[in-house]
């Protein structure tokens, strides 16, 4: 596999965008484009293996425990339902349906992510396979999480989705998105374009969990804009192998006192090639940003963990933290922190550290009755701490089980 470093270009508005040059050997014409069509149905009626895999990435079949559900299998929309108690507070539907319904949506469509960013965004534009439109209405505080699932069931499939999420002024919601493949899928390509609009005084927490496999390629492309007093929290988790993953979400803190937080936990195993990063652009007084990444590499995995802070206003502040843990001599973690101040008075800071499990930590726990393997497992589990994510209790408990199994398998 060719796995080149990515480059950046500057668009007409002066915005620096990252152009993917990774996996140059991917031939998109070789992927399957005509999967079976699925009819709309309650997700609890889906085949057991689909439910099991989607549950592992945070999507539950009990739709009454979620404010709304969007579920897509391959190129078919299976569910786009809002629970009765939350009707009038939010909207969930396919982006194809939303484009037909709302003429104003063109003002949000391909505005944050450019169609020509790279060959994958061009692919998503020319071969668009639905995706979800989620809109939280003005001043609505949605008390249950929304959920969405982008599922690949057909082997060697190319799935291209375009998502638009709008948190109207004064609204608040939490979205859980899971992306997964069926165990019978050995390869494929997922391209996911997502554009987030966080209006004034709105708060959106977005949690994405990926469950790919060793033969699968994934290319998410996303960007967010946050207006006055808006808050955007993005949580990302990867615990399973992937052939190659490349993503670089960007958040523009455009408004006064706007805030963004990127929290990432990445576990690279097998022969995974993972090139991830986040970028925060601070554009107004009181804008705040944070990027926190925990990266663990074992087996032959290669992880590039990137972070970019750009301060464009004197009253802005941001911090970047990246910590990597190596569990194999054949694995690699490459931390790339970048700071760019364009205004006097912008405060940007970073810290990065990569290493192996400290022997003194192992000895400390062994002195308290743990075996060496148990001690190492505890340290790895602690390294993948998700308590700061603020997840629903049942989701956090499920992820903790996954982390425990992952830590035990790694050692």
- Model confidence pLDDT, tens digit, residues 51-99: 999 999 999 998 889 999 999 999 999 999 999 999 999 999 999 999 9
> Which SS3 state, helix, strand or coil, does residue 197 take?
strand
pLDDT at 13: 38
Q: What is the pTM of this model?
A: 0.91
pLDDT at 292: 94
pLDDT band with cut points at 50, 70 and 90 for residue 403:
confident
* Mean pLDDT of the 110-139 span: 97
Domain ranges of the chain: 7-356, 357-411
Helix residue ranges, H only, 68-209: 95-101, 119-126
Q: Residue 397: is it exposed, middle or buried by C-beta count within 10 angstroms (0-12/13-18/19+)?
A: exposed
The first and second tokens of residue 339, run together, are 């700071």
pLDDT band with cut points at 50, 70 and 90 for residue 411:
low
pLDDT at 317: 97
Quick: pLDDT tens for 71-83.
Answer: 999 999 999 999 9
More confident call, 402 vs 205: 205
Rounded to whole angstroms, how far apart are CA atoms 277 and 262?
Answer: 9
Least confident range from 165-169, 288-292, 321-325: namely 321-325
Residue 388 has pLDDT above 90, yes or no: no
pLDDT at 250: 98
Q: Comparing C-alpha atoms, which of 395, 294, 405, 410 is closest to residue 57? A: 395
Q: Specify whether the CB–CB gap between 251 and 260 falls below 8 A.
A: yes
Q: Specify whether the CB–CB gap between 296 and 272 falls below 8 A.
A: no
pLDDT band with cut points at 50, 70 and 90 for residue 410:
low
Q: In 301-325, which positions are buried (b, 16+ CB within 10 angstroms) versus exposed (e)?
A: bbbbbbbbbbbbbebbbbbbbbbbb
The first and second tokens of residue 355, run together, are 């290493």
Adjacent-strand bridge partners of 322: 293, 352
pLDDT at 60: 93
Mean pLDDT rounded to a whole number for the chain: 91
Quick: pLDDT tens for 243-287.
Answer: 999 999 999 999 999 999 999 999 999 999 999 999 999 999 999
With pLDDT > 70 as the criterion, what percentage of the chain qualifies?
A: 93
Residue 84: other Cβ atoms inside 10 A: 8
Q: Read out DSSP for 45-90?
A: GS-HHHHHHHHHTT--S-GGGSSEEEEEETTEEEEEEE-GGGBTTE
pLDDT band with cut points at 50, 70 and 90 for residue 398:
confident
> Which SS3 state, helix, strand or coil, does residue 349 take?
strand
Q: Are strands 250-253 and 231-238 parallel, antiparallel or unpaired?
A: unpaired
Reported residue count of the chain is 411
Measure CA 306 to chain center: 14
Residue 194: other Cβ atoms inside 10 A: 22
Write the CA distances from 243 to 105, 303, 374, 379, integer angstroms.
Answer: 35, 12, 29, 27
Rounded to whole angstroms, how far apart are CA atoms 163 and 151?
Answer: 14
Residue 7: other Cβ atoms inside 10 A: 11
């Amino acid at each position: 596999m060719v796995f080149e470093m990515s480059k950046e270009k500057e668009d007409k508005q002066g915005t620096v965008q990252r152009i993917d040059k990774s996996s140059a050997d991917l031939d998109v014409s070789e992927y399957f484009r005509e999967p079976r069509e699925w009819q709309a149905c309650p997700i609890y009626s889906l085949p057991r293996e689909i439910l099991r895999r989607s549950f592992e990435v945070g999507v539950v079949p009990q739709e009454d425990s979620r404010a709304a559900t969007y579920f897509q299998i391959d190129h078919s929309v299976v569910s786009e339902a809002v629970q009765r108690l939350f009707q009038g507070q939010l909207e969930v539907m396919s982006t194809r349906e939303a484009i037909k319904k709302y003429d104003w949506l063109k003002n949000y469509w391909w505005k944050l992510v450019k169609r020509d960013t790279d060959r994958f965004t061009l692919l998503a534009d020319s071969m668009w396979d639905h995706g979800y439109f989620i809109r939280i209405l003005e001043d609505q505080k949605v008390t249950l999480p929304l959920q969405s699932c982008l599922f690949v069931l057909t082997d060697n499939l190319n799935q291209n989705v375009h998502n638009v999420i709008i948190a109207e002024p004064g609204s608040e919601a939490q979205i859980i998105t899971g992306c997964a493949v069926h165990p019978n899928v050995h390869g494929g390509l997922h391209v996911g374009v997502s554009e987030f609009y966080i209006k004034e005084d709105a708060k959106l927490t977005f949690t994405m969990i990926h469950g790919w496999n060793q033969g699968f390629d994934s290319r998410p492309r996303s960007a967010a804009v946050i207006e006055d007093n808006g808050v955007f929290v993005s949580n990302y988790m990867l615990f399973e192998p992937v052939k190659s993953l490349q993503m670089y979400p960007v958040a523009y803190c455009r408004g006064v006192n706007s805030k963004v937080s990127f929290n990432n936990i990445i576990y690279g195993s097998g022969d995974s090639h993972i090139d991830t990063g986040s970028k925060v652009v601070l554009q107004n007084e009181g804008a705040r940003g944070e990027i926190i990444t925990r990266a663990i590499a074992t087996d032959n995995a290669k992880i590039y963990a990137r972070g970019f802070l750009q301060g464009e206003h004197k009253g802005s502040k941001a911090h970047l933290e990246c910590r990597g843990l190596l569990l194999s001599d054949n694995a690699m973690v490459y931390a790339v922190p970048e700071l760019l101040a364009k205004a006097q008075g912008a405060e940007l800071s970073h810290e990065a550290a990569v290493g192996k499990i400290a022997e003194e930590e192992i000895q400390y726990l062994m002195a308290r009755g743990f075996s060496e393997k148990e001690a190492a497992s505890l340290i790895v589990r602690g390294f993948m701490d998700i308590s700061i994510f603020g997840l629903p209790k049942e989701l956090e408990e499920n992820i903790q089980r996954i982390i425990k199994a992952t830590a035990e398998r790694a050692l």
